[in-house]
Amino acid sequence: MAMEWQVFCKDTLTSEIVSGCLGSGRDSTYLNWIFKAWGWTVGVSLTALLVALLVGSIIGVIRTLPNSPWLTRFGNAWVELFRNIPLLVQIFLWYFVLPALIPAMKSLPSFVLVVLALGFFTSARIAEQVRAGIQALPKGQRYAGMALGFTTPQYYRYVILPMAYRIIIPPLTSESMNIFKNSAVAFAVSIPELTQFALQAGEETSRPIEIYLGVTVLYVISALVINRIMAFIEKRARVPGFVASGTGAGGH
């Protein structure tokens, strides 16, 4: 089967091959479009990762707080809720159900809704890692902080968290890569990211193989880049003698 890579140089409106492959102004080629879609994938993933790290850290920390049974229960309920419903269903909840129940959410752009869905879904998984990281530390570290007269926020801030974050970088790496892959689910609510591009452009050009290959390569490149960045961070931040084990199987 012959591949026709010129498909990427075609104008999206006239289907004529543009010399130089990149269109300008309003005439854009499929190459322009795929890069724009990649931008959306990266944008959605990185913003969702930020949300997930923030929320996941808070939930993870409150699940390990001493003498706060209700906070701990809330944290546990959060994790169970967000990891036992499929991501696609959660995206539908954020996109269709919540705006219908809470009128104020109707004005939110779909980018925000998808980022919240993906971020909260991943926050449950990151909360698990953060909790595991904190509990992997020897109890003595906590007591040492207390013995120094630190308050609870202080010994978390100065003793426990700096250690915990550094030892959970390996599992966080796979979560960051997962968030890129999971962002593909946003196609279902018409976010113009890579998978949505693949579906639309594959249909329009009747050359799905070339289009899917292009998209697949971009996903693989994204995963590799994230992996390298995290490996660099891990190397710089490694605590000798501490390796946190992941919680087993990962998501997709």
Partner 1 sequence: MNLDFSILNWSLIEGFILKGLWFSITLTIVATLGGILFGTILALMRLSGKKWLDVPAAIYVNGMRSVPLVMVILWFFLLVPFIIGRPIGAEYSAFITFIAFEAAYFSEIMRAGIQSIPRGQVYAGQAMGMTYGQNMKLVILPQAFRNMLPVLLTQTIILFQDTSLVYAIGAYDLLKGFETAGKNFGRPIEMYLTAAVLYFIICYSLSYVVKQLHKKIAIIR
Residues that bind partner 1 (CB under 8 A): 80-81, 83-90, 92-93, 96-97, 100-101, 177, 180-185, 187-188, 195, 198-199, 202, 208-209, 212, 215-216, 219-220, 223-224, 248-252
Locus of tokens 């579906």: 199
Residue 142 Cβ vs partner 1, minimum distance, rounded to whole Å = 25
Residue 226: CB atoms within 10 Å: 21
CB closer to partner 1 out of 63 and 142: 63
CB closer to partner 1 out of 62 and 179: 179
Q: Give the 3-state DSSP-derived string for the chain, with helices as H, strands as E and coil as C.
A: CCCCHHHHHEECCCCCECCCCCCCCCCCEHHHHHHHHHHHHHHHHHHHHHHHHHHHHHHHHHCCCCCCHHHHHHHHHHHHHHHCCCHHHHHHHHHHHHHHHCHHHHHCCHHHHHHHHHHHHHHHHHHHHHHHHHHHCCHHHHHHHHHCCCCHHHHHHHHHHHHHHHHCHHHHHHHHHHHHHHHHHHHHHCCCCHHHHHHHHHHHHCCHHHHHHHHHHHHHHHHHHHHHHHHHHHHHHCCCCCCCCCCCCCCC
CB closer to partner 1 out of 79 and 168: 79
Residue 240 Cβ vs partner 1, minimum distance, rounded to whole Å = 24
Residue 54 Cβ vs partner 1, minimum distance, rounded to whole Å = 24
Residue 248 Cβ vs partner 1, minimum distance, rounded to whole Å = 4
Residue 88 Cβ vs partner 1, minimum distance, rounded to whole Å = 5
CB closer to partner 1 out of 43 and 208: 208
Residue 112 Cβ vs partner 1, minimum distance, rounded to whole Å = 19
CB closer to partner 1 out of 81 and 112: 81
CB closer to partner 1 out of 86 and 138: 86
